[in-house]
Amino acid sequence: MKRRVVVTGLGLVTPVGNDVNSTWEALAAGRSGIAPITAFDTSDYPVRFAGEVKEFDARQYLDHKEARRNDPFVHFAMAAARQALNDAAFTVTEENADRVGVIIGSGVGGLHTLHDQFRVLHEQGPSRISPFFVTMYISDMAAGIVSMQTGARGPNFATVSACATGANAIGEAAEMIRYGRADAMIAGGTECGITPIAMAAFAKMQALSRRNDEPERASRPFDAERDGFVMGEGAGVLLLEEEESARKRGAHIYAELAGYGATADAHHITAPAPGGAGLARAISVALKSGSIEPQEVDYINAHGTSTHENDGNETAAIKTVFGEHAYKLAVSSTKSMIGHTFGAAGAIEAAVTVLTMERGLITPTINYEHPDPACDLDYVPNTAREASVQVALSNSMGFGGHNAVLAFRRYRE
């Protein structure tokens, strides 16, 4: 018999805020966190802007030694995890530790460490490589460090599915609870990939917007003049609990995570399947697993990357599943304000979706100025909208043809 899974804690680190409230306030106001890159000299780069996390201090969450021994992607994850646990008033104890797990994914892992250590290798030789290089770089270390710092001894691993990573982590964590392998899971995604090699590589792919003169207007999902995505960074973590145990301890329940769908396009290394066929199947699986009828859905937090291929195919996928109801749905993209946080995107957007339901406000898709005939849904353009959202989806699509969809329902006993 499947158990119900609820969300009781949220944690966020994003380009518009280093916690949940500051992030939400910025998103609700339609404020962009995208600006010229400050981390390194971009003079020779074709793209010179991104959504950087600002004024973040890892020592608020890790002692000085631990902070030095971990890559920034781990710092972000630890911060979001601590926030989620504090928000839920949840403590890992000796009594419950074996039933509390951690699944936190990252698309690329410790890219800052990799960049720095290659420089050391070439300039100073192999003897100068850090003994912590491997543990700072590998993608599973966010989940590992969160487990060590909190004492959680249940299921522990990382998901890696490019831009679907965070959503897959949350979906798989929910399955652990649903089928009795854990009672609580710390789940999400983290990324800190705004580095010289990443910016050069994504620009070379022709994947990034090149609006260097107006970076805050560069990410424009579903707009006819979109010209690519914007790199972002950050982390999102949800605390998931089995419904009955959450109720017994008097936890505040944000929403129920009712359904989860994951599929593969089996089509192309970067382009979505024609018509968004893979995403459409993932949406259908999520609805079925949550016993949700299509017409019950009020809102979709879209993957909405601001690329021509993604936005058109995601719109087509929504129409495939929902038919005429697609035109009654509100659809918006968080990426319009924070950029594409890659492995963290699905988790950050899941948290925003839950907050949308909790606070009765749909955050907008900013920079939507020129309607595209291929993208003709209600994208909540430019201004937030009050709405009573009972059922919402969070869509994620990743390079490699990965699709993950989370279905949230307003909680009722």
Q: Provide the annotated active-site residues.
A: 163, 303, 340
Q: Please give, one letter per residue, the 3-state secondary structure of the chain.
A: CCCCEEEEEEEEEECCECCHHHHHHHHHCCCCCCEECCCCCCCCCCCCEEECCCCCCHHHCCCHHHHHCCCHHHHHHHHHHHHHHHHHCCCCCCCCHHHEEEEEECCCCCHHHHHHHHHHHHHHCHHHCCCCHHHHHCCCHHHHHHHHHHCCCCCEECCCCHHHHHHHHHHHHHHHHHCCCCCEEEEEEEECCCCHHHHHHHHHCCCECCCCCCHHHCCCCCCCCCCCECEECEEEEEEEEEHHHHHHCCCCCCEEEEEEEEEECCCCCCCCCHHHHHHHHHHHHHHHHCCCCHHHCCEEECCCCCCHHHHHHHHHHHHHHHHHHHHHCEEECCHHHHCECHHHHHHHHHHHHHHHHHHCEECCECCCCCCECCECCECCECCCEECCCCEEEEEEEECCCEEEEEEEECCCC
> Virtual CA dihedral for 350, 352, 358, 360, nearest 10 degrees?
-130
In contact, 52 and 276? CB cutoff 8 Å: no
Rounded Cα distance, 92 and 85, in Å: 9
Phi, psi (deg, nearest 5) at residue 365: -100, 105
Rounded Cα distance, 231 and 188, in Å: 19
Rounded Cα distance, 69 and 333, in Å: 35
Which tokens in the block code for residue 179?
Answer: 């089928």
Write the Ramachandran bin of 336: left for phi over 0, alpha for psi from -120 to 50, otherwise beta.
alpha
Rounded Cα distance, 326 and 341, in Å: 26
